[in-house]
Structure 1
Amino acid sequence: MFAFLGNRKPFSQLSEKEILALAISSEEDDARIYASYAERLRHDFPATAAMFDDMVTEEDGHRRSLIADFERRFGNTIPLIRREHVAGYYSRRPIWLVENLGVDRIRQEAERMEDDARRFYTAAAGRASDAGTRKLLGDLALQEGGHLDRVAASEATHLTQDARQDEDERARRQTLLTWVQPGLAGLMDGSVSTLAPIFATAFATQDPGTTFAVGLAASVGAGISMGFTEAIHDDGVISGRGSPIKRGIASGSMTALGGLGHALPYLIPYFWTATAVAFVVVFIELWAIAWIQNRFMETPFLRSVTQVVLGGALVLAAGILIGSG
């Protein structure tokens, strides 16, 4: 690792030839990144994709200007210098870490990229001795600084109010399908299905330690099962529900959390105190699920209460009766 860092040349030691070569490769990379964003968003968010198409065109214009200036000063052979070759130079996040995020997050990443480029051109212009190069780099710094205004203008052109509302609705729906719906299903399963074994064990043994061990095992086991089931049964291609890995994480983690909520009170060494706290936690969990259903899934609140609270109460009573018998 340290050998790799030692092979990187500090930005302050780059020659003007190397600075121009670095600027050219950076513009090429940014154009490819914006093109990838456009391709990723074109189906669901066509207006934002058109905005990124405009940004690709502008980056290509910057690249051509830089190549022309390089050829004027240093000839036709441009050395390959990339961001990763320069110590202290800004980096770009891997495309796969960003392109699967929401459309708003991708727009924010584009703004960060433009600000990074502006700061680079400002520093590079200060290093240039040739008047033409200094002017070009200074102009590019101003263009990158004003790019956010042009992005806003491009948004106004492509992202009309109706288009933005449509894209925002698509993004909200995707979030619901990928995160909220699987997470809610997991929370319901973990909160309700573990009630019977945990409280049956509690009332059968009246031993907080044993009850916690059973609750922990039931919660973790249910979380693993639900996570794998969600991830495996639907790859999201046809259903449009998004990444199976994300859905599996949402479902599995919320399932485990739902069970652990009323298992953790049994870390308290006094049985009746722990049980009283667990009852309170169960009450909060069930009402929270009903609220989430109403808030995000638009399920009528009375129906949510009937389905979740009444169903959970019946499972809880069954566990207590079985354990007491």
Structure 2
Amino acid sequence: MKNFADLTEREILAIAISAEEEDGRIYMSFAEDLAERYPDSAKLFEQMAEEEKGHRHMLLELYEERFGKNLPPIRRDNVKGFLQRRPIWLTKNLSLDTIRKEVGTMEFEAERFYAKAAEQAKDVGVRRLLGDLALAEKGHEQVAAKLTDKILSPDVRHKEDETRRRVFVLQYVQPGLAGLMDGSVSTLAPLFAAAFATHQNFQTFLVGLAASIGAGISMGFAEALSDDGSLTGRGSPWLRGAVCGVMTAIGGLGHSLPYLVPDSWANAFWIATAIAGIVVFFELWAIAYIRARYMDTPFLQAVFQIVLGGIIVLGVGILIGAA
């Protein structure tokens, strides 16, 4: 790789031309990805792509005037100091915040490149153009930073905020809530059945641990394989599966951990069971709150469905274990 200080004016212009072409394609990829979810923001990226195309034409004209039509095969990746970019533009359904941060990084890097290249250039015309492009890229960076603030009208921002909230619910809240409900409720019966059958804390904890991890793995794969997200917009199936699986395991482990109370303690079983019961109470109310907050379920209805259902499952486990 070459050091930046060793680049000739010809190589600097060649890198700039290839960089503007690549950035323009990236912006068009972002625009296509955002077109259905955030149409107004997508138009901004289309405009930025057109500006990058204009920058490329200016650079190409200057290059051909100075050095002819043949471009040397050198790119940003061949020069030390450039940031290594993650090709996130190959991923669909990216959040607007993620795209904004990526664009900010791209434009900051481009601004620094042009500013340093202008300092290094000896030709007055080359230096002037590179300086102008540095200012233009700084303007793009500010556009990215304010993408959901001053540039978009309040109505558009409200609409895009609603879309972002809907995407967040589809990709994270729904699978996470499904996992938390399954982990919290489905593990109650085996855990408390084992507890009242053995009156042994550590043995009960092992049952809860196995039930929680097993349920997490099962729910994770079930969620990941249920929908690839291409039509529903629910995002990466493996991300949803991971969220669902982790939340399932957490839901079961919450009321399993109290049974780590040592059996050597006096009344250890009843201490652990009392703590587990308190944990179950807060788990069920938390689930009811999340359903009311994000799933538009009336709070009392959510409480009735979740808390009553959990109490029934808990009672079944105790009755079976005590039989």
- 149 and 88 in structure 1: CA distance in 2 versus 1, 3 angstrom threshold: closer
Letter aligned with residue 318 of structure 1:
V
Alpha-carbon deviation of 1:105?
A: 2.3
Q: Are residue 134 (structure 1) and residue 135 (structure 2) matched?
A: no
Task: Say if 1:50 and 1:158, in contact at 8 Å, map to a contact too.
Answer: no
Q: Are residue 179 (structure 1) and residue 172 (structure 2) matched?
A: yes
Q: Distance in 2 between matches of 1:97 and 1:180?
A: 24
Residue 298 of structure 1 aligns with which residue? Answer: 296
Task: Say if 2:100 and 2:144, in contact at 8 Å, map to a contact too.
Answer: no
- 128 and 172 in structure 1: CA distance in 2 versus 1, 3 angstrom threshold: same
Q: Distance in 2 between matches of 1:146 and 1:58?
A: 11
Residue 226 of structure 2 aligns with which residue? Answer: 233
Residue 63 of structure 1 aligns with which residue? Answer: 56
Residue 267 of structure 1 aligns with which residue? Answer: 260
Alpha-carbon deviation of 1:146?
A: 2.2
Q: Are residue 29 (structure 1) and residue 22 (structure 2) matched?
A: yes
Alpha-carbon deviation of 1:29?
A: 1.0
Q: Are residue 287 (structure 1) and residue 285 (structure 2) matched?
A: yes
Letter aligned with residue 284 of structure 1:
F
Task: Give the count of matched residue pairs.
Answer: 318
Correspondence for 1:75 among 44, 48, 68? 68
- 113 and 276 in structure 1: CA distance in 2 versus 1, 3 angstrom threshold: same
Q: Are residue 248 (structure 1) and residue 223 (structure 2) matched?
A: no
Q: Distance in 2 between matches of 1:268 and 1:23?
A: 65
Letter aligned with residue 286 of structure 1:
L
- 186 and 153 in structure 1: CA distance in 2 versus 1, 3 angstrom threshold: closer
Q: Distance in 2 between matches of 1:17 and 1:90?
A: 22
- 154 and 324 in structure 1: CA distance in 2 versus 1, 3 angstrom threshold: closer
Task: Say if 2:103 and 2:141, in contact at 8 Å, map to a contact too.
Answer: no
The unaligned stretches of length 5 or more in structure 1 are 1-7
Q: Distance in 1 between matches of 2:90 and 2:193?
A: 45
The unaligned stretches of length 5 or more in structure 2 are 264-268
Task: Say if 1:47 and 1:158, in contact at 8 Å, map to a contact too.
Answer: no
RMSD (Å) for aligned C-alpha atoms: 2.2
Deviations 1:155-201 (A, max 9, x none): 79984333332222122111111210111011001100000101111
Q: Are residue 110 (structure 1) and residue 103 (structure 2) matched?
A: yes
Q: Distance in 1 between matches of 2:248 and 2:54?
A: 51
Residue 266 of structure 2 aligns with which residue? Answer: none
What SS is found at the alignment partner of 1:241? coil
Q: Are residue 40 (structure 1) and residue 62 (structure 2) matched?
A: no
Matches within 5 A, 1:81-92: 81-92=74-85
Q: Distance in 1 between matches of 2:65 and 2:19?
A: 20
Q: What TM-score does the superposition give when structure 2 sets the normalisation length?
A: 0.91
Task: Say if 1:200 and 1:322, in contact at 8 Å, map to a contact too.
Answer: yes
Task: Say if 1:196 and 1:315, in contact at 8 Å, map to a contact too.
Answer: yes
Alpha-carbon deviation of 1:73?
A: 2.0
Letter aligned with residue 62 of structure 1:
H
Task: Say if 2:20 and 2:56, in contact at 8 Å, map to a contact too.
Answer: yes
Alpha-carbon deviation of 1:93?
A: 2.2
Residue 310 of structure 2 aligns with which residue? Answer: 312
Residue 137 of structure 2 aligns with which residue? Answer: 144
Letter aligned with residue 77 of structure 1:
N
Q: Distance in 1 between matches of 2:314 and 2:225?
A: 30
What SS is found at the alignment partner of 1:100? coil
Correspondence for 2:8 among 15, 18, 41? 15
Q: 53-62 vs 166-175, which deviates more? A: 166-175
Q: Are residue 206 (structure 1) and residue 199 (structure 2) matched?
A: yes
Q: Distance in 2 between matches of 1:164 and 1:224?
A: 39
- 321 and 286 in structure 1: CA distance in 2 versus 1, 3 angstrom threshold: same
Q: Distance in 1 between matches of 2:145 and 2:193?
A: 60
Alpha-carbon deviation of 1:104?
A: 2.8
Letter aligned with residue 192 of structure 1:
V
Alpha-carbon deviation of 1:223?
A: 1.0
Deviations 1:279-321 (A, max 9, x none): 2211111111111111111211111111111211121121112
Letter aligned with residue 145 of structure 1:
K
Residue 5 of structure 1 aligns with which residue? Answer: none
Residue 169 of structure 1 aligns with which residue? Answer: 162
Letter aligned with residue 292 of structure 1:
I
Task: Say if 1:11 and 1:89, in contact at 8 Å, map to a contact too.
Answer: no
What SS is found at the alignment partner of 1:235? coil
Q: Are residue 216 (structure 1) and residue 216 (structure 2) matched?
A: no
Q: Distance in 1 between matches of 2:6 and 2:147?
A: 38
